[in-house]
Amino acid sequence: MNDMPVFNVLDEIIDKDIVSFHVPGHKKGSIFEKVNYRKYKDKIGNMDTTEIPGTDNLHSPEGVIKKSQEIASNVFKSDYTFFLVNGSTCGIYASIMSVCNPKDKIIVNRDCHQSVVNSCILGDIEPIYVNPNIDLNLGISLGVSYEEIKKVIDNNKDAKAVLITSPTYYGVSLDVKKIADYVHSKGKILIVDEAHGAHLGLSDKLPKKSLELGADIVIQSTHKTLPSFTQSSMLHVKEKRVNIDKLKSFLKIVQSSSPSYILMSSLEMAVNIYINYGKELMNELIENINSVINFIDNLKNIKVFKYKHQDITKLYIITKELKKSGYEVENILRDKYNIQVELSNSYGILLVCSIGNTNNDFKKLKKALNEIDNEIGNENLIEINYPTNIPKKILNPRDAFYLDKKSIRIEESIGKICGEYIIPYPPGISILSPGEEITKEVIDYIKKSKEIGMNITGIKDTNLNYIQVID
């Protein structure tokens, strides 16, 4: 097996029995043991098929896929639900391009996923950004406020739609109801990127689902917080304001013509677990999370992020008082305790918890945090100021994408027009996009971030010595 590097590393990870506090939500298949779905797990390799008699067709469903999507629609209380096999990314593409024509405006939160900007490039659509609130002490986004959304809508009356992200990567839930009411009062459509909220309907201790709060289109990464397989998602629609036929047409364009039956069957399996075991498993999960929060509250140096409107299945653990960066703590957890978190930043680590996690996962986490809490670092953390100003947009993203570019030293790029993305990953949120003016604030941020271990994607020179600019 020496010529199978991907398989070999996956096999190695399985053998290490790493505790998963990262996506996907099935947690390395542990959910199958919890709900006795071993039959599904054992037969997965035999399910890789194509459109043959009896299997139906995702792009024109009339049989089993149609029935399965209708079951999901009933569970999530939509008018239509569509299975996505190219991830939430293709759902974002289809949603935006189905409600906006070329040259139209769409209002979006600046901390949107990169797929939103890519949609504007593909559809020749003009993004109008709304600045999120930033917790400067932690360097994380708290999402956009109703007041800021309202202000931008009032200044862009010709915009066709509004897209918001709720909950955020860190679990902050926006005032979707208030935003939806105002968006609709101005004759616009509301799209919600709910990639991290597929599980929200399983408990009244969690924020409400965007669809029941007035959203017209909701895209969920089922694989992130429910137990479907990576790259499988769902798109839920209320049809009052949405052209369903146009949406279906774009889904055919942006999805594979050979959709994976393994991914589709995993979505169906996730819905089935949601119906039959979801609430019980979610209650158990919330008890475990609250136990961890109470445990952390009694530690000396490690803290936990708390917010008034929060999905607590996202545990952001603050490490500032340890005098250790989140990157350092992530490495300690992985190397010493066999625990893998979702992401780390300068000031903490993010854990994504799901109904696939076991009681033992949380016991191991408590033990690790208790020991780490006593290991104070020796150096002061490098302070990083998260960029709070939206860079000036000089060119439409599509125009910038197609224009010729050249590489210059990054120190000489301030004031130039950016020709590529600068995306700290995860979570994949662009702080600089093609067509925007490069600022000193952004350059300082990414250079310091790289210095302490953040992964920067989108940029051709990953060493951050050079950047592509538009000549």
- At 281, the amino acid letter reads L
Which own/partner contact pairs does 378-383 have at CB distance under 8 Å and 24+ positions apart?
378/323, 379/323, 380/323, 381/320, 381/323, 381/324, 381/325, 381/346, 381/347, 382/325, 382/346, 382/448, 382/451, 382/452
Beta strands in 309-361 (DSSP E): 314-318, 339-341, 343-344, 348-352
- At 193, the amino acid letter reads D
Assign domain 5-24+278-374 to its CATH architecture.
Alpha-Beta Complex (3.90)
Angle in degrees, CA 330, 5, 340, rounded to 5: 15
35-274 CATH pick, 3.90.76.10, 3.40.50.620, 3.40.640.10, 3.20.20.80 = 3.40.640.10
* pLDDT at residue 425, as a whole number: 63
Residue 176 gets which letter from DSSP?
H
Q: Tokens for 384?
A: 């990083």
Strands 80-84 and 233-237: antiparallel
Residue 321 burial (CB count, 10 A): 16
| Secondary structure element (H or E) that encloses residue 41, with its range | helix 38-43
* pLDDT at residue 32, as a whole number: 79
| Secondary structure element (H or E) that encloses residue 470, with its range | strand 466-470
| Interatomic CA distance for residues 218 and 88, integer angstroms | 10
Residue 144 gets which letter from DSSP?
-
Assign domain 397-470 to its CATH architecture.
Alpha-Beta Complex (3.90)
* pLDDT at residue 106, as a whole number: 98
pLDDT tens per residue across all 471 residues of the chain: 567 778 788 788 777 888 999 999 888 878 877 887 777 777 777 788 889 899 999 999 999 999 999 999 999 999 999 999 999 999 999 999 999 999 999 999 998 998 999 999 999 999 999 989 888 788 788 999 999 999 999 999 999 999 999 999 999 999 999 999 999 999 999 999 999 999 999 999 999 999 999 999 999 999 999 999 999 999 999 999 999 999 999 999 999 999 999 999 999 999 999 999 999 999 999 999 999 999 999 999 999 999 989 999 999 999 999 989 898 999 999 999 999 999 998 889 999 999 999 999 999 999 999 999 998 876 666 677 777 788 899 999 999 999 999 999 999 999 999 999 888 765 667 889 899 999 999 998 888 877 777 778 888 998 889 999 998
* pLDDT at residue 427, as a whole number: 62
* pLDDT at residue 406, as a whole number: 95
* Cβ pair 310, 171 in contact under 8 A: yes
Domain boundaries along the sequence of the chain: 5-24+278-374, 35-274, 397-470
* Cβ pair 338, 16 in contact under 8 A: yes
* pLDDT at residue 3, as a whole number: 76
Please name which of 197, 196, 179, 175 lies closest in space to residue 188, comparing C-alpha atoms.
179
Q: Map residue 271 onto helix, strand or coil.
A: helix
Beta pairing partners, 310: 172
